[in-house]
Chain A
Amino acid sequence: MQRYPRWPIHLALMLAGFVMLVPFYWVLKTSVSGENIYAYPPSIVPRGAHLFYYVDVWYSIPFARYFLNSVAVSAIAVAGNVVFNAMAGYALSHGFRGKDVVLLLFLSCMMVPFQATIIPAYLITGRLGLLDSWLGLALPQCSTIICIFVFKASFDAVPRSLIDAARIDGLSEWRIIWHIMMPLSKAAIATNVILAFIWSWNNFLWPLIMTRSADMQTLPLGLARFLSYQEDTTGALYAFCIMVLAPGLLLFLLAQKEFIRGLTSGATKG
């Protein structure tokens, strides 16, 4: 193997890391000191750091309500994803008549992005009477094809002898899923949970279209509204940004491996 100096690589990567991290640092700095909203030239280290913008955000906007809405919708979406995708993945790991049609259907659904369906999705949700409700917000996100294939791949890896033995013992198919397949698929469950949570937590367009009343809005919506009311004249906006980014960042740092595995495995046909 050729020997080559390592330090240029480190330098280049550190530069890239710096470029990726500078926006974070900048926002964090402004959220604790309120500079750089009017001041020029900007300072590198925050002068007079304080946490009172965060207090402002908590009291002057219904942050708790937005947070609750986001959490509720994400919880429903995650629960729906885990249950429905496991069922679908289990069904797909068996052979049955019409399986190919179903697979083709799923794969073709992957090519339909959400943005191409907003008008009918809105009209359908309206007809179902689910506008402005947590269920309506969560329903389109309650099943995703990538996650179905993640489960399918995981279930395919379970030895058939185990399933056959369970069937002989009289377990129904339903109980086979929950008592045998799922405990062996912890990684798939984790991937499902994380992907579903992140996608539903960050979703902006669907709540924008769907919510009518101010107290059903989710965090991304609240953030955008805050921007349009206050413009960027206050450090509270950036404190809001940080408060909104924190859960996503925390979850990502906790569950990096599962997140990356889900994205890369789901990106190839199950």
Chain B
Amino acid sequence: MSWRSILLNRFVLVPGAIVVAVVLWNVYVATHNNGIVTGRVVDAAGHPVADATVGLWIFNFTTYEEKERVKTDADGVFRFTNNPSHKIQISAEKPGVGRSQRLPVFLYFRSQDTELAKPLRLAGAG
């Protein structure tokens, strides 16, 4: 049997392709699981809000528990660096500007580095 016929045999090709895909996926996961979650906070008008408190909630069996809080910088950008989970919620508030709803974020693997596509909107005063 030539090398070619062995390689193109469906019993080698399909499992081989699966193994390659698994390896590639694991490499991707290993290089992207630093637990970084970033995003922006804006107010009702769409302007970035500096110094808002952003909370990270982690799913724990049946409920979400708050784990960490950071503050947004001057551009309204916040950054968590220690997310250990794949199912989290983010909420933001700033006294005087409002609070946002808790935004659920679903990740594909634990501690996936992610950047929120839509900014957190603060609404309602207080």
Binding site for B on A (CB under 8 A): 50-52, 55-56, 59, 250, 254-255
Count of CB-CB pairs between chains A and B under 8 Å: 19
Pick from A55, A250, A255: contact of B106, CB under 8 Å: A55
Q: Which of B10, B11, B14, B110 contacts A59 (CB 8 A)?
A: B110
The answer to whether A55 touches B107 (Cβ under 8 A) is yes
- Which 5 A-B pairs give the minimum distances between C-beta atoms? A52-B106, A55-B86, A59-B86, A254-B10, A55-B108
B109 interface residue (CB < 8 Å to A): yes
Which chain B positions have C-beta within 8 A of A250?
14
A254: which B residues are within 8 A, CB to CB? 10-11, 14
Q: How far is the CB of A58 from chain B (nearest CB, A)?
A: 8
Give CA–CA (A255, B107) in the complex, Å. Answer: 35
CB distance from B47 to the nearest CB of A (A): 30
Residues on B lying within 8 angstroms of A by beta carbon are 10-11, 14, 86-87, 106-110
A53's closest neighbor in chain B, by CB? B106
Q: A55-B86, A56-B87, A59-B86 are in contact. Are A50 and B14 (CB under 8 A)?
A: no
Please, could you name 8 A-B residue pairs with CB atoms under 8 Å apart, sorted by A? A50-B106, A51-B108, A52-B87, A52-B106, A55-B106, A55-B108, A254-B10, A255-B11
In the complex, the answer to whether B109 meets A55 with C-beta atoms within 8 Å is: yes
Give A31 Cβ to nearest chain B Cβ, in Å: 15
Cβ contacts under 8 Å, A51 to chain B = 108
Complex CA distance for A52 and B106, rounded to whole angstroms: 7
By a CB distance below 8 angstroms, the chain B residues around A55 are 86-87, 106-109
Output the nearest chain A residue to B112 by Cβ-Cβ distance: A55
Given the complex of chains A and B, what is the CA–CA distance between A51 and B25 in angstroms?
Answer: 15
A180 and B109 CA atoms in complex are apart in Å by 49
State the CA gap A220–B20 with chains docked (Å).
27
Q: Roughly how many angstroms separate A24 CA and B111 CA in the complex, as a whole number?
A: 32
A50, A52, A250, A255, most chain B CB atoms within 10 A: A52
List, in ascending order, chain A residues with CB within 8 A of B87's CB: 52, 55-56
> B61's closest neighbor in chain A, by CB?
A60
Known: A51-B108, A52-B87, A55-B108. 12 other contacts (CB 8 A): A50-B106, A52-B106, A52-B108, A55-B87, A55-B106, A55-B107, A55-B109, A59-B86, A59-B110, A250-B14, A254-B14, A255-B11
